[in-house]
Structure formats: C-alpha cells, structure tokens
Amino acid sequence: MNLRMYWNLARCADLYDKMYYFGSGAEYDVQHYIPNMTEDYFGSYIPQDAYGFSKYVMSQDTRKSENIYNLRLFGVYGKYEEWNRRFISNNMCRVLRGLDISINQDMQFDYLYVDDLCRLMPWFIEHTPKHHDYNVCTGVPIRLSEIAAMLREQCGSPFPVKVKCEGEKLPYTADNSRLLAELGPWEFTDISLGIAELWVYYRREYRMKSEFHHLLCNFPFN
C-alpha cells in the first residue's frame, strides 16, 4: 500500500512543484539501529520487514528525484494518534482505566511532539530544501523508562511501572544536524511539557465524551 500510494503520486511529479512525504526510521533497518543515525547511514542495510523495506524503496527513489522530499520521522506523539498502540497515549489511557504504566522493553527513543512537526511544515513549503531526505526529530534521546516516570508523576499513577522484558533494545534515535543547518535556531517542545498537554487532552476526552469512555473501558489492554 505504501509503495502504491507513493508511485501514483511520484509518477505525476511534473505536475507539481514539490512533494513531501513522511518516511520512517525503519528505513535504517530495525536489526541494525545505532545511536544517533545520520542520513548517510541510510542504505547501509536493507530492512527485512515489509514496512521498513517499502519506506526504504521510496527513499531510494526520492534521492534520485527532482522535487520529492522524504521527511523521515521517528517517534511522534500527540493528540489523535492511535492511543491503543502508541506508547505515551496508551499508557495515559491505561492510567485512566486504573491500570499500571507498562513498558515492553526499555530502549532509547527520539520523541517529537506533533505540534512541532506542524510548525516545521511551513518552512518546507516556503523553501526548497538542499537535500531530498531529512531526519525530522529532536536529536535528544530519552529512555522509555524515563518517559514512564514522567507519565507516572504527571498522571498520578499509584502503581509502579511494569517492565515486561529485561534488558534494552537497540536505540531508535537520529542526528538532526542536516535539518537544523537549514532551519537555523529552532526550539523543540520539551517532552515533559508535551506530556502535560496531552494528559489534559485525554483526561478531558475521557470525562466529556461517552463514546471514548465506552471504548476505553472495553479495550483489552495488554
């Protein structure tokens, strides 16, 4: 599906000025992540999973294009995400349901607040980037266990954080120097502030919207 959508738009490249799409850190291959991956690390390994491979193929084509650009995302969080499967939102909903905060396995992540992504887009629309792919991230790694501690404090969870598997997975972090070299000075939202704002949103939705309350109460959390 990813490739079908991409090629249907890419083949019409002569009909528009620029096209941006959101790539994924999965392009670097989940089995070979290293800390703070740069854009030059792309192509070192070919992803084995279907999703990562589809994004890899798209990125390879983008680098040969004239006017298509890959904004490579890593962890993005915020309102309207799939709360039933995204780490931060899912755990906020777990707290609302009276459950503990859960981590499958600890790892370093780079989380970008969705509001920051929206603030970045006008620059790309108004400018012609020098490169065809960019790591769009904060460049500030944080462990899931650190985020869990923030969530526990912000949400007032009375339970200890539950970690299902010992050890630590490979980091999912990237270098954003290429992005900042063109943007200039840029401030990303501190994750503690983003978490505070998102908690206000979920707490309001849970209290005010009966359909969300019903869905949350009947969702089979793991």
Tens-place pLDDT, residues 73-93:
999 999 999 998 999 999 999
Model pLDDT, residue 222: 59
Residue type, 82: E
Model pLDDT, residue 216: 79
Low-confidence ranges of the chain (pLDDT < 50): none
Model pLDDT, residue 219: 73
Classify 181 as helix, strand or coil. Answer: helix
CA atoms of 213 and 96, how far apart (whole Å): 9
Check if CATH label 3.40.50.720 holds for domain 2-218.
yes
Contact partners, residue 51, CB within 8 Å, separation at least 6: 2, 24, 26
* Predicted structure pTM score: 0.92
Phi, psi of 10 (to 5 degrees): -65, -35
CA atoms of 186 and 34, how far apart (whole Å): 25
Pick from 86, 91, 59: nearest CA to 75: 86
Model pLDDT, residue 177: 98
CA atoms of 182 and 176, how far apart (whole Å): 11
Q: What is the mean pLDDT of the chain?
A: 95
Pick from 148, 142, 129, 155: nearest CA to 66: 129
Per-domain residue ranges of the chain: 2-218
The DSSP call for residue 140 is -
Model pLDDT, residue 1: 81
How do 102-106 and 133-136 pair as beta strands?
Answer: unpaired
Contact partners, residue 213, CB within 8 Å, separation at least 6: 206, 207
Model pLDDT, residue 23: 97
